[in-house]
């Protein structure tokens, strides 16, 4: 396993982050536990979850599965840099969602109970709350820090100016501010190169990339759809809209002798702002297969071809669209 610092922080995490959204809804608890044991055995020390994960099993179900795994002992909790999220609707009563001080505190206490831990390494805001005053947010987060319940604060799905504003106000509080941003980022979706990535680099933050395989489009979708493994109507439509690019993409991967999913992850690992892409295995086999991406090396010529197939916005703003 390879490791890196989170932005300019001293915190060190694995280059792959284990996403747990499938734990419960798609992966039974016993197999979820085996996946987490296998991840630790392979050196993954970075786990991502959220208080709302669980879907039809009920919000909080995924955190409970992770908490039961921690409760087995054997240093499991101590080996993990644990990131969870706050914002989503946990119940129908007022203040059971979003980012008021009351909601943040209640949500944190709930996550700690379900996860069976005394503290969270990274507490991420799952979305911007346009109705929450930044001073209120930082007061809540700093109180949780002072109580030893969270160590770092992160954001997710924030715009560049949200990150800048949050960090500038944090500096007035003489606090670290945002440590990480979790954003949609892959070869097909590169919008964050305009404003979000420049903001992260300016403030020394880490970038956690979600949906690195674009919902399966970058995982050999053309071959799999022919085999009947990509049967959802939505994905079928996406494949047809993007067939020309996907054909070129899968040929490049075939010429490299690598699976498309591994090349897609490797591309992210070659981006200097990226701390770790999130992998979300449903099975232990899927977890093990993800490690190949760490060994895939893409030279300048290959990266240039991938930019031609999946062009970004043209660099950071404003140069991407102005002189």
Q: How far is CA 313 from CA 17, 73, 302, 306, in A?
A: 26, 47, 19, 14
Instruction: Give the 3-state secondary structure of residue 121.
Output: strand
- The rounded distance, in Å, linking the Cα atoms of 311 and 175 is 38
Tokens of 305: 């071809």
Distance CA 239, CA 228 (A): 13
Q: b/e map of 105-114 (b: 16 or more CB within 10 Å)? A: bbbbebbbeb
Contact of 190 with 196, CB cutoff 8 Å: no
Identify the three-state secondary structure at position 200: helix
Q: Which two tokens stand for residue 8?
A: 């300019």
Residue 40, CA atoms < 13 Å, CB-side half-sphere: 16
Q: Please report the beta strands in 43-173, taking only residues with DSSP state E, as ranges in sequence order.
A: 46-48, 81-86, 120-125, 150-156
Let me know: does 19 contact 210? Beta carbons within 8 Å: yes
Q: Has 87 been annotated as catalytic? A: no
CA distances 239 to 225, 233, 243, 274, 310, Å, are 9, 10, 5, 27, 15
* Dihedral over alpha carbons 151, 157, 161, 162 (to 10 degrees): -50
CA-CA-CA-CA torsion sign (157, 160, 161, 167): positive
With 0-12 CB in 10 A as exposed, 13-18 as middle and 19+ as buried, what is 36? buried
- CA of residue 75 relative to chain centroid, distance: 24
Catalytic residue among 3, 53, 152, 185: 53
In the DSSP assignment, the letter for residue 27 is B
Catalytic amino acids? 53
């Amino acid at each position: 396993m390879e490791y890196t610092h989170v932005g300019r922080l001293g915190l060190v995490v694995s280059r792959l982050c284990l996403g747990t959204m499938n734990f419960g809804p798609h992966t039974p608890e016993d197999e979820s536990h085996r996946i987490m044991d296998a991840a630790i055995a392979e050196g993954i020390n970075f786990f991502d979850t959220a208080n709302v994960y669980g879907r039809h099993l009920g919000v909080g179900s995924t955190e409970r599965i992770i908490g039961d795994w921690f409760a087995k002992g054997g240093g499991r909790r101590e080996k993990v840099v644990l990131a969870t999220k706050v914002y989503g609707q946990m119940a129908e009563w007022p203040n059971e969602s979003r980012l008021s001080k009351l909601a943040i505190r209640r949500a944190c206490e709930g996550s700690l109970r379900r996860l069976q831990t005394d503290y969270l390494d990274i507490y991420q805001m799952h979305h911007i709350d346009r109705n929450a005053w930044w001073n209120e947010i930082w007061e809540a987060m700093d109180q949780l820090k002072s109580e030893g319940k969270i160590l770092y604060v992160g954001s997710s799905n924030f715009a560049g100016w949200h990150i800048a504003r949050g960090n500038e106000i944090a500096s007035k509080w003489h606090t670290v501010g945002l440590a990480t941003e979790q954003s949609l980022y892959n070869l097909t979706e590169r919008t964050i190169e305009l404003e979000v990535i420049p903001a992260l680099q300016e403030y020394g933050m880490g970038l956690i990339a979600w949906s690195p395989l674009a919902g399966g489009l970058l995982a050999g979708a053309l071959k799999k759809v022919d085999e009947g493994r990509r049967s959802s109507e939505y994905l079928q439509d996406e494949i047809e809209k993007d067939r020309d690019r996907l054909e070129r993409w899968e040929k490049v991967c075939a010429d490299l002798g690598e699976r498309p999913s591994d090349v897609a992850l490797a591309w992210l690992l070659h981006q200097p702002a990226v701390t770790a892409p999130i992998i979300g295995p449903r099975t232990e086999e899927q977890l093990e297969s993800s490690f190949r991406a760490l060994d895939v090396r893409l030279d300048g010529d290959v990266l240039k071809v991938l930019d031609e197939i999946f062009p970004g916005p043209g660099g950071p703003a404003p140069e991407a669209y102005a002189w």
